[in-house]
Structure 1
């Protein structure tokens, strides 16, 4: 079985490692180009590229798959399957039609809920208590293809995006392998037209803290975004990045929203709308500011 794999973040790297543990012939690993990041604007390779190189697999980093040359290159691989997991670029129809069997996507939600770019973050931001993995056949629509297999996964009250990514990837590996083994005989199920929602890409607006909101809402922001885009807030005239926080209901106060009620070894307590947020980990937004405990902040 000849396979190419397309993915970019850590979630996809875990899936790739699972594929590589089998006897499948992974002919090529496609991932996004190295990107400039941070204040130094250093170019960093994606987790998938790093994993592929460690496994001795060939990598390919096209800027786009919309060119004739890119499509001809993929056709030359004579693929049975193209496996996609959080690749991050749109696959045009000529690419979708290239494999002899199909393009299969490992999607981190229970479709049709959270179609799109950021299903894990959006599920946490929405306060969902359950999510899952779907193995689907790709088509031109955004995550609209029929589903071969699915598995559910609970979202705990303190589960973060980083934790959920790892859990879902591990759940997805055996589902994917089973699907690849039976894809010629399994009939995928059409997605329901009910319960459709879209997980748009995370932006800076999602990371802005509004102290006039409920502490529960802010805690969801921190759980969902701290891993890659920590929510920012101004406390005591200092801009901070919130890395861990939870609602705290014991303190009842009429303090102004956004003011620090108290700070001790258990956390920094901030007044919100009829509620209190306890911050347990933060970083000063100054250059490469280190992690601070509540006592140090």
Structure 2
């Protein structure tokens, strides 16, 4: 099939690679424009842009698709279908209607649960036990289109947003090429979403990342997992006489009780409003991620200290 691929981050790359590998003709790749990044603030192409360059595919990076000029250029590609994976730009109706078979989106939840920008993080933060990836035929609403194919993923107690992201991007790539194969045969059946159970995965606000140990341990554990590694749930610890921000990347529920925020032992167990949590992977500002034992060797924390 003649495919226009639209995506931006690492999450999108496996789907692009699978589409090319299955022999479809990718007539164009759309991605977000290069932006300043890193210490030198040099303009850097997106992961999808870089992958498309390696494959020798033409890349377009408009800041918007609202102009008639951009829409006409898109129509001129004469695509059978557009595949959209975490592109990050609104698709106007003229774009949605341009490909002969419309636009297929890969979404990281089991719709209608977690429509919106951050379905991976929100599912974990809410303590969901399962989620999935779905191929959806796009319409003008926010993740309201008909569902064409689905795969369910169990969320384990220790799974972080990064873990789930990595699982989804591989499974999602396979799901999308299966959907394209069915579409090419004329056998892709899509069903309207149910109306019950709609939830919205709003964009993560950095203000949500500050840990409050007055919350139950399970709530804190889910927050740590859901925000790992970015933006990263965080606390302040006094290390060698100086208050420092520390990201909490992995944790586990633990036995123990005490005043919320109190360090209960030499294994980084901390009392919560209900129960306790053991921190297993942490990251100080300007340092790499490290296991709790390694972290403690570089800190002067002791049992009874308060972490806020």
Q: TM-score, normalised by structure 2?
A: 0.88
* 1:262 counterpart residue number: 265
User: Does residue 1:191 correspond to 2:197, yes or no?
Assistant: no
Secondary structure of the residue aligned to 1:262 is coil
Matched residue count: 289
| Pairs within 5 Å for 1:201-280 | 201-236=203-238, 237-249=243-255, 251-252=256-257, 254=258, 256-263=259-266, 267-280=267-280
**Which whole-Å CA distance do the structure 2 matches of 1:222 and 1:63 have between them?**
34
Instruction: Name structure 1 gaps, 5 residues minimum.
Output: none
On the 8 A contact 2:15/2:174 being kept in 1, the answer is no
Q: TM-score, normalised by structure 1?
A: 0.91
User: Does residue 1:291 correspond to 2:300, yes or no?
Assistant: no
Secondary structure of the residue aligned to 2:265 is strand
| Pairs within 5 Å for 1:1-297 | 1-37=1-37, 40-183=40-183, 184-236=186-238, 237-249=243-255, 251-252=256-257, 254=258, 256-263=259-266, 267-285=267-285, 288-292=286-290, 293-295=294-296, 296-297=298-299
Q: What does the per-residue CA deviation read over 1:245-269, in whole Å, with 9 as the maximum and x for residues that have no partner?
A: 22212x23x2x32232233xxx422
Q: What does the per-residue CA deviation read over 1:196-236, in whole Å, with 9 as the maximum and x for residues that have no partner?
A: 11111111122121111122212212211122211121123
Secondary structure of the residue aligned to 2:180 is helix
- RMSD across aligned C-alpha pairs, in angstroms? 1.7
On the 8 A contact 1:121/1:161 being kept in 2, the answer is yes
Q: 1:138 Cα deviation (Å)?
A: 0.3
* 2:305 counterpart residue number: none
Secondary structure of the residue aligned to 1:71 is helix
Distance 1:96 1:64, change over 3 A: same
**Which whole-Å CA distance do the structure 2 matches of 1:97 and 1:44 have between them?**
31
**Which whole-Å CA distance do the structure 2 matches of 1:118 and 1:41 have between them?**
26
On the 8 A contact 2:246/2:283 being kept in 1, the answer is yes
**Which whole-Å CA distance do the structure 2 matches of 1:194 and 1:211 have between them?**
34
Which is worse superposed, 130-139 or 167-176? 167-176
On the 8 A contact 2:209/2:234 being kept in 1, the answer is yes
Which is worse superposed, 172-181 or 159-168? 172-181
